[in-house]
Amino acid sequence: MEHMKKYGLVAVMGRPNTGKSTLLNAIMNQKVAITSPLPQTTRKNVRVRYKEERCIIDFIDTPGIMDKVEDLMGKKINKEAPRAMSGVDVIVCLVDISRPKNEEENKVIGIIRKSTAKKILVYNKTDQAIGSKDHLAEYNYLEEEFDKVIAVSALKNKHVKGLINLILEYLPEKETDEIDDDIQIPMGSNEYIGEIIREKVFLFMRREIPYSVTVEVEGVEEKKKILVIKANILTNADRYKKMIIGKGGQKIKEIGYNARKELELMSGRKIFLELTVKIDRHWEERL
């Protein structure tokens, strides 16, 4: 039995901005997924591995399910979460009890109902659900559809360990030498660098631009004691390009500075980050 561990695949689902990526970062105790207050921050399913003495868990962070999407990007994003349900042992459904329930919640539950996996309902943002922002009563009816229920604050890392314990109840044991050991990082390094930069664009632009922005890393090069990263911020209109650059280049400097600082902190390396804003009206088609 000493070579046995609990092992399984767990999908984290919910509407946009319920705190799925924040929860995953709390579970991993490091940043593995980008976050922002805006929908469409997470665009693709991201798989990461959690390890401890009791278990190995592969988590899938899914994009938020949106209601009535008409744009190409939104339609692509809405197809991601259902793909994550194939072969999962447990589905963790996050709801943000600091916001009223809406039709997006119904869409999420409709997708989850189709799965035979064990299901855990997680009431998130308990630290923010105070007074008029406490909408817990609107979600209580969902409990009968789930095997377990827990309230957490992903941002404050409150009861996250309790959630792990609930997940472990439903995972099978497996010989450790039978578990594929290849899954170590959430995505390729260039893609992850691009995601960190895109997060900063979202955070510093707020709602000033629509979601017509992506980042492509052109190259990463070792030069003596510094890592040189060249990346392009792509948008689909000249007016958005001007907004991202900002007056006198101030906005792009803010984005670049904060992205560089985070990348240096994560890599332990000095970094030179060269950002270029370009117009590309077809970038959505390539994702």
Distance, CA of 166 to CA of 177 (rounded, Å) = 25
Say whether both 151 and 218 belong to one domain.
no
Buried b / exposed e across 140-173, counting CB within 10 Å, b at 16+?
eebeeebebbbbbbbbeeebbeebbebbeebbee
> Domain boundary residue among 178, 202, 222?
178
**Hey, what are 180's tokens?**
């594929």
Q: According to the model, what pLDDT value does residue 1 have?
A: 45
Tokens 């799925």 belong to 20
Say whether both 30 and 140 belong to one domain.
yes
pLDDT tens figures, 11-32? 999 988 899 888 988 998 877 6
CA distances from 50 to 81, 86, 168, 180, 272 (A): 20, 19, 12, 13, 31
Residue 184 lies in a domain: no
Say whether both 162 and 212 belong to one domain.
no
Say whether both 53 and 170 belong to one domain.
yes
Residue 28 lies in a domain: yes
Residue 246 lies in a domain: yes
Q: Say whether pLDDT at 39 is over 80.
A: no
pLDDT tens figures, 170-222? 998 888 777 766 544 444 578 788 888 888 888 888 766 656 788 899 988 88
Q: What are phi and psi of 218, to 5 degrees?
A: -80, -35
> Domain boundary residue among 117, 148, 178?
178
Q: According to the model, what pLDDT value does residue 84 have?
A: 72
Residue 170 lies in a domain: yes
Say whether both 116 and 229 belong to one domain.
no
Q: Give the domain extent around 226.
A: 189-286
> Domain boundary residue among 148, 178, 208?
178
Residues 6+ apart with CB under 8 A from 101: 95, 135, 138, 139
Residue 183 lies in a domain: no
Question: Contact, 24 vs 63, CB < 8 A?
Answer: no
Say whether both 125 and 240 belong to one domain.
no
pLDDT tens figures, 81-108? 677 778 899 999 999 999 999 888 888 8
Say whether both 158 and 278 belong to one domain.
no
Say whether both 146 and 106 belong to one domain.
yes
Q: What percent of the chain has pLDDT over 90?
A: 43
Question: Contact, 15 vs 184, CB < 8 A?
Answer: no
Counting the structural domains of the chain, the total is: 2
Say whether both 145 and 194 belong to one domain.
no
Residue 172 lies in a domain: yes
Say whether both 154 and 202 belong to one domain.
no
Say whether both 101 and 202 belong to one domain.
no
